[in-house]
A and B are shown apart, each in its own frame.
Chain A
Amino acid sequence: TQLLEQSPQFLSIQEGENLTVYCNSSSVFSSLQWYRQEPGEGPVLLVTVVTGGEVKKLKRLTFQFGDARKDSSLHITAAQPGDTGLYLCAGGYSNYQLIWGAGTKLIIKP
């Protein structure tokens, strides 16, 4: 059974601080997706990384895929209240299924 472990499970910080959340597995994935989910809504894709060592930036968010394609991190610079949400990672293992982590619940306090 493939597992994706996300850490921390919960993070509450002040506006303006930096943070990093992690997504780790013992399995190799062909791709890794990061989603953000807001209360009462379905997850929405933020980014997909496919190459080992790949780094993608989305404004203040930086995503990195590990060299061995087993882990990933999401770094947020100068967090804002609008970044609040549940961050989910999903590993692409086959062409029909995604393996999901349990998520990191992020709260940014004004």
Chain B
Amino acid sequence: NAGVTQTPKFRVLKTGQSMTLLCAQDMNHEYMYWYRQDPGMGLRLIHYSVGEGTTAKGEVPDGYNVSRLKKQNFLLGLESAAPSQTSVYFCASNYYGTEAFFGQGTRLTVV
């Protein structure tokens, strides 16, 4: 049972480049989330989804877009990367506010 899988695990981007992070879960969870984690700041919610075809903004959505075309997948896009987006990104999924299952994270560096 794979749980939550994120790809890629590491990426270096130049300022202004774009990229997409993929999150896949095989637990049939309704809710999926994208967080960023920076030192001393805990997990901050970027965007979330409460079901296939629906997305909503979280605490820090600027500069990011998301899509949930299939229930098992949640994509996070950076249209024009900035150094401030250097962070570790985590995807998570769960049922209705219960235990959140996390992926292993994507370490993104924007130079």
| Residues on A facing B (Cβ under 8 Å) | 9, 30-31, 33, 40-45, 48, 88, 90, 92, 94-98, 100-103
Contacts and interface: CB of A to CB of B under 8 A. Distances in A.
A103 B40 CA distance: 8
B71 to A, nearest CB: 15
Interface in B47-73: 48, 50, 58
A3 B98 CA distance: 19
Interface of B: 4, 31, 35, 40-45, 48, 50, 58, 90, 92, 96-100, 102-105
B40 A9 contact: yes
B104 A41 contact: yes
Given A9-B40, A97-B45, A101-B42, A40 B105 contact: yes
Contacts of B99: 33, 45, 48
B97 A42 contact: no
Contacts of A40: 104-105
Contacts of B103: 42
A103 B42 contact: yes
A90 B102 CA distance: 14
Contact of B48 (A44, A92, A96): A96
A38 to B, nearest CB: 11
Contacts of B40: 9, 102
B96 A95 contact: yes
Given A31-B97, A97-B48, 18 more contacts: A9-B40, A41-B105, A42-B90, A42-B92, A42-B104, A43-B43, A43-B90, A43-B100, A45-B100, A88-B42, A90-B43, A96-B48, A98-B97, A98-B100, A100-B35, A102-B40, A102-B42, A103-B42
